[in-house]
Amino acid sequence: MPQITGTTKLLGVIGNPIGHSLSPVIHNAAIEQLGLDYRYLAFPVAPANLAIALDGFAAIGLVGCSVTIPHKQTIIPLLAEITPLAQAVGAVNTVWNTPTGWHGTNTDVAGFISPLAAMGRDWSQTTVAVLGNGGAARAVVAGCHQLGCGEIHVFGRDAAKLAQFRSSWQDIQLTVNGDDIPMPVTVQTHLWDELSSLINKANLLLVNSTPIGMYPQIEASPISAEMIQKTGAKAIAYDLIYTPRPTKFLQLAKESGMMTIDGTEMLVQQGAVAFELWLQQSPPIEIMRQTLIQHLATTH
Ligand code: NAP
């Protein structure tokens, strides 16, 4: 890596806690590969200090940063501008410094879509079942709408939260397949036990956006082995979790003949989009991917 000098510029990630973040690993690998005079650091920022931190970052010329839990929503009123996509998702995960203040967007959506878009399919006949109705589920819904998926169903355990989730999409319009004309986002919500009625639909995309199965609860799966066996082999199982690799859910899905996608590619691709926004150059995605996979293999 180039030496840190008086001209070295700063990027980073803010969250609380932040020590577990894999973003420094991915971004510094890209910075090193391109020989850039930058460093990417993790900054723990308590909720009460968020506004002070942003002012301080602007004062010292920090170029941009990733934003993670618990700041993805609360940062929005502190920004001068956010993209319509971030507005729709209701969360910002990437900000950059401009002469008129901090601007923000959401790159989780592009990250989520990336491995699906790479398949080059027509998604209009696909039914999506999203497990969980938290922050990541919002990026999944926006992504599936952008892909043009036929139906989007979201499953949760709390009726009030589900109702709130559904109504939050009511007036939201987003483009589909890069078209110019935005289309209303249509989401159906269900309690968890209604999943069995959908599970054997043709062309199902089953997405786990809950933390069930995440390290250290590695023996847990959001849906049972019996239920996964009822899912058609043509279904795709997508787990946003990136450690362990694979999760129990993806292990069971693979045993049932389903195609499986884990959360590493989403993590890499959301970072790649952010990197390009900050540095106005294409990131070395393969280096970012390999560094992450190697890091996960040696540390988890
Ligand atoms: P979140 O906002 O806390 O949402 C979690 C959702 O899971 C909520 O709907 C919650 O239900 C549900 N849930 C949690 N435990 C459950 C249980 N035991 N049974 C049923 N439902 C349960 O979290 P998030 O930010 O959306 O993140 C979710 C997962 O996605 C995490 O594992 C995270 O690591 C992963 N993620 C990955 C990436 C990536 O780049 N690969 C990006 C973002 C997130 P209630 O609302 O009822 O509590």
pLDDT confidence of residue 208: 98
Which CATH code of 3.40.50.720, 3.40.50.10860, 3.30.428.10, 3.40.710.10 fits the domain covering 9-106+265-299? 3.40.50.10860
**Domain 110-261: homologous superfamily in CATH:** NAD(P)-binding Rossmann-like Domain (3.40.50.720)
Reported as a single tens digit per residue, the pLDDT across 216-258 is: 899 999 999 999 999 988 899 999 999 999 999 999 999 999 9
- Taking residues 21-41, report their average pLDDT: 98
Q: In this structure, what token pair is assigned to residue 127?
A: 């039914």
For the beta carbon of residue 55, count every other beta carbon within 10 angstroms: 11
- Residue 261, phi then psi, degrees to nearest 5: -135, 130
pLDDT confidence of residue 200: 85
9 is catalytic: no
| Distance (Å, whole) CA 185 – CA 74 | 23
Q: Which of 29-43, 72-86, 177-191 has the lowest mean pLDDT?
A: 177-191
- Of residues 197 and 78, which shows the higher confidence score? 78
> For a pLDDT cut of 70, what percent of the chain falls above it?
100
pLDDT confidence band for 300 (50 / 70 / 90): confident
pLDDT confidence of residue 104: 98
Using the mean position of ligand 1's atoms as its centre, give its distance from the Cα of residue 133 in Å: 7
Using the mean position of ligand 1's atoms as its centre, give its distance from the Cα of residue 107 in Å: 17
Torsion region of 128: left, alpha or beta (phi above 0 gives left; psi -120 to 50 gives alpha): beta
pLDDT confidence of residue 215: 85
Give strand ranges (E) for the chain: 9-15, 38-44, 64-67, 81-82, 94-98, 101-105, 127-131, 151-156, 173-174, 183-184, 188-191, 204-208, 236-239, 259-261
On whether the CB atoms of residues 203 and 236 are closer than 8 A, the answer is: no
On whether the CB atoms of residues 140 and 106 are closer than 8 A, the answer is: no
Q: What angle do CA 181, 183, 186 make, to 5 degrees?
A: 170
Which atom of ligand 1 lies nearest, measured to the CA of 210? 7
Task: State the alpha helices, DSSP H only, in 90-224.
Answer: 108-117, 135-147, 159-168
Pocket of ligand 1 (CB under 6 A): 108, 111, 132-137, 156-158, 161, 209-212, 214, 240-242, 263, 266-267, 270
| Distance (Å, whole) CA 118 – CA 107 | 17
pLDDT confidence of residue 232: 82
pLDDT confidence of residue 102: 98
Using the mean position of ligand 1's atoms as its centre, give its distance from the Cα of residue 23 in Å: 19
Write down the domain spans for the chain: 9-106+265-299, 110-261
In the numeric block, the tokens 């390009």 are attached to 276
